[in-house]
Amino acid sequence: MTATVWPVLSHDPKHGRWILPIIITAMVLLTYTFVNGIEPAAGPSGQPDDDDVAFPTTPTSSTTTFPPNVAAFMVTLDIFENQRQQFAADVERINGSWDSREATFGETRQAFDDLKVQLDQWENDIAQVDGVPTELARGHVALVIEVSDLALKIEDIILGLEAPDDGTLRRTASAEYSVAIQEVADAITAIRDVASGGAADTSGTTTDDTTAGNTEA
């Protein structure tokens, strides 16, 4: 009797991990191909004019001026910034619904609980992101540290929601969350500065010490 062996398919429960790198790589390659396919602009003589370039040549003008691994990480930072803005808006939305009594206490508490879970997951996603360039590793660590504070701030907001006061504790905790979410934005900007050789200087220690000081504040 002949035995038939069927292949066992292993499903990756976290299949989304490999989708983001593919999308980022495709975006970088398509942008690079498009920019290099642009013909130089013609000057008054009808000949290509070297002074009329399609894009500025400074590192901050386009991800195509970065090495491929840095350009890919810049796209990742754009995604993180979009997510950060959404998390900032979420707290304002939840607080607004509670203040106007459009949401019940239970609904508001659940919304904050759900947001805390999302922020915990976001912290893990940022900490475990692949392809962090070596020269941006310190800034990435600083970003993770700033993001790690957000879920704790949500806990404070929940405690304020439950407090038997006039809402002062909740509003104070919400204001502290706004500061923390802005510090995440500052950490993202600091990474971009290092990548572009702008305000931060990767060759020295001044920027690193300043970043560390801001993180500990």
Question: Is 60 a domain residue?
Answer: no
Whether pLDDT at 145 is above 60: yes
Confidence (pLDDT) at 146 = 97
**How many domains are contained in the chain?**
1
Q: Pick the residue with more confidence: 193 or 17?
A: 193
Whether pLDDT at 51 is above 60: no
Query: What is the percent of the chain with per-residue pLDDT over 70, rounded to a whole number?
Result: 61
Q: What is the mean pLDDT of residues 110-138?
A: 96
- Tokens 């700033």 locate to 146
Whether pLDDT at 34 is above 60: no
Kindly report the pTM of this predicted structure. Answer: 0.63
Kindly report the average pLDDT of the chain as a whole number: 78
Whether pLDDT at 206 is above 70: no
Which structure tokens are listed for 147?
């993001």
Mean pLDDT highest for which of 1-15, 31-45, 114-128? 114-128
Question: Is 16 a domain residue?
Answer: no
Question: Is 201 a domain residue?
Answer: yes
Question: Is 124 a domain residue?
Answer: yes
Confidence (pLDDT) at 31 = 58
Q: Pick the residue with more confidence: 196 or 172?
A: 172
- Tokens 């957000």 locate to 150
Question: Is 28 a domain residue?
Answer: no
Q: What is the mean pLDDT of residues 54-70?
A: 59
- As a whole number of angstroms, the distance between CA 166 and CA 37 comes to 62
Question: Is 25 a domain residue?
Answer: no
The domain of 158 spans 67-216
Which structure tokens are listed for 97?
């619904």
Confidence (pLDDT) at 23 = 63
Question: Is 46 a domain residue?
Answer: no
Q: What is the mean pLDDT of residues 110-121?
A: 98
- Tokens 């609980």 locate to 113
Continuous H helices in 37-104: 68-99
Question: Is 43 a domain residue?
Answer: no
DSSP letter for each residue of 147-173: HHHHHHHHHHHHHHHHSSSSSHHHHHH
Q: What is the mean pLDDT of residues 156-170?
A: 96
pLDDT band at residue 21 using 50, 70 and 90 as cut-offs: low
Whether pLDDT at 136 is above 60: yes
Q: What are the angstrom distances between the C-alpha of 119 and each of 34, 139, 152?
A: 36, 19, 9
